[in-house]
Amino acid sequence: MGEVDPAFIQDLEHRPKLSITQAEGIPLIDLSVLNSPDAVSDPSTLDSLVSEIRNACRDWGFFQVINHGVPLEQRQKLEKAARKFFAQPLEAKLKVRRDELQVSGYYDTEHTKNVRDWKEVFDFSVHNPTIVPASTRPDDKEVVEWHNQWPEYPPELREACEEYAEELEKLSFKLMELIALSLGLPADSFYGYFKEQTSFIRLNHYPPCPAPDLALGVGRHKDAGALTILSQDDVGGLEVKRKSDGEWIRVRPTPDAFIINVGDIIQVWSNETYESVEHRVMVNSERERFSIPFFFNPAHYTIVKPLELLTSEKDPPRYKPYNWGKFFVTRKGSNFKKLDVENIQIYHFKISELADRLGETLSVK
């Protein structure tokens, strides 16, 4: 990436502080009880785990998990393959380039809030093919299939990705069960939404940056899906906006842990009992960094709205229903369009605050 192009430069107010607030950090939750036979025969052993999840989702929107059941070898295999892929010359990576029609593959010009991110990525869908709406037009019912594309090198990348996806999908369902229980719902409440999921995985590579005080690896944003499960290496750089005071807090890398965050969809489903929290990634001038987020997303036809069991006359729905597939393809497409338009966001569907904004055109009447 070389010299710092002005496209990467953050506005003053969004530039990172190079001194780090690590504080006591986000909660660390041990999931080992899920793998013990007692948890099945005696659900009360789950109770304290469920309340840890509830507190973490409510107070932070972020937590780390250990003893999660995903084999370390699987993760290391993928990390190694990802390093080999990104170490290739740009021409080789561009052979599996992403574009408006082919959304899986390599990409190095992602923008967050219209500022370019200091990173390169490789995306693939968890279910191949993935079915999505053919267009962003609300009245168009046509669907298309997204197919993954795989590079020739390294040859083991495809298998590593597919095996990892399978493991992470299992973990996502377990976490959604815990989140359902933490909201007072039956454990399997969310299962139905994810049968034909639109989940995808991103391999992120953040090269060293000569101006870590001006640019960001990923600018401040919230994740649009239901849940994100992130694997980060030992370099560090992820920062979370602390709900209590709006301070940016660095998430300390913990060996073999995953970082979990509540996405916008859980915010809507839970009618804001849990909130999707803003985060960003700092880069540094010495060490490259790798991370792998798994974005757990429902089927394209899912109409996202506050769950009836979590709303009442006293606490009425705070969002209008919206179609996830249309939202998702609008987001995916926006990276290839004009840079001065605002991305679609859930607040466009917020009741009483939305009026005639962009969301109005996509909401389900």
Q: Is 223 in the site for ligand AKG (CB under 6 A)?
A: yes
**Mind spelling out the 3-state secondary structure of 321-350?**
CEEHHHHHHHHHHHCCCCCCCCCCCHHHHE
For residue 6 the two structure tokens come to: 């002005």
Q: Residues 201, 218, 282, 362: which binds ligand AKG (CB under 6 A)?
A: 218
> Would you list the DSSP string of 77-93?
HHHHHHHHHHTS-HHHH
For residue 78, how far is the Cα from the chain centroid?
A: 18
202 binds, among ligand AKG, Fe ion, none (CB under 5 to 8 A by kind): ligand AKG
Number of residues that bind ligand AKG (CB under 6 A): 11
Q: Residues 175, 203, 230, 362: which binds ligand AKG (CB under 6 A)?
A: 230
Question: If we measure between CA atoms, which residue out of 68, 249, 275, 280 comes closest to residue 174?
Answer: 68
Residue 34 DSSP code: G
Q: Is 172 in the site for ligand AKG (CB under 6 A)?
A: no
Q: Is 264 in the site for Fe ion (CB under 5 A)?
A: no
- CA–CA separation, 240 and 21 (whole Å): 10
Give me the least distance between CB of 259 and ligand AKG, in Å please.
7
Q: Specify the stretch interacting with Fe ion by CB under 5 A; choose among 62-70, 114-122, 217-225, 298-306.
A: 217-225
For residue 57, how far is the Cα from the chain centroid?
A: 15
Contact status, residue 287 vs residue 83, Cβ threshold 8 Å: no
Contact status, residue 228 vs residue 295, Cβ threshold 8 Å: yes
Kindly tell me which of 93 and 205 has the beta carbon lying closer to ligand AKG.
205
Q: Is 104 in the site for ligand AKG (CB under 6 A)?
A: no
Peptide bond before residue 129 is cis, with ω within 30 degrees of 0: yes
Give me the least distance between CB of 232 and ligand AKG, in Å please.
5
Give me the least distance between CB of 293 and Fe ion, in Å please.
6
Task: Give me the count of residues in the chain.
Answer: 365
Q: Residues 199, 204, 271, 297: which binds ligand AKG (CB under 6 A)?
A: 204
Q: Specify the stretch interacting with ligand AKG by CB under 6 A; choose among 85-93, 230-238, 267-275, 349-357.
A: 230-238
Q: Is 223 in the site for Fe ion (CB under 5 A)?
A: yes
- Helices first, then strands: H and E counts in the chain: 8, 18
Q: Angle 350-351-355 (CA atoms, 0-180°, nearest 5)?
A: 90
Q: Is 203 in the site for ligand AKG (CB under 6 A)?
A: no
The residue assigned the tokens 């299992």 is: 170
For residue 133, how far is the Cα from the chain centroid?
A: 20
Q: Which residue is nearest to Fe ion (CB)?
A: 223
Kindly tell me which of 46 and 281 has the beta carbon lying closer to ligand AKG.
281
Question: If we measure between CA atoms, which residue out of 202, 204, 201, 200 comes closest to residue 119?
Answer: 204
Give me the least distance between CB of 290 and ligand AKG, in Å please.
8
Q: Is 297 in the site for ligand AKG (CB under 6 A)?
A: no
Question: Which helix or strand (DSSP H or E) is residue 202 part of?
Answer: strand 200-206
Phi, psi of 345 (to 5 degrees): -140, 160
Q: Is 205 in the site for ligand AKG (CB under 6 A)?
A: no
Q: Residues 75, 220, 279, 332: which binds ligand AKG (CB under 6 A)?
A: 279
Q: Residues 182, 232, 267, 363: which binds ligand AKG (CB under 6 A)?
A: 232
Q: Residues 26, 240, 262, 281: which binds ligand AKG (CB under 6 A)?
A: 281
Which residues bind to ligand AKG, rule: CB under 6 A? 202, 204, 218, 223, 230, 232, 238, 279, 281, 291, 293
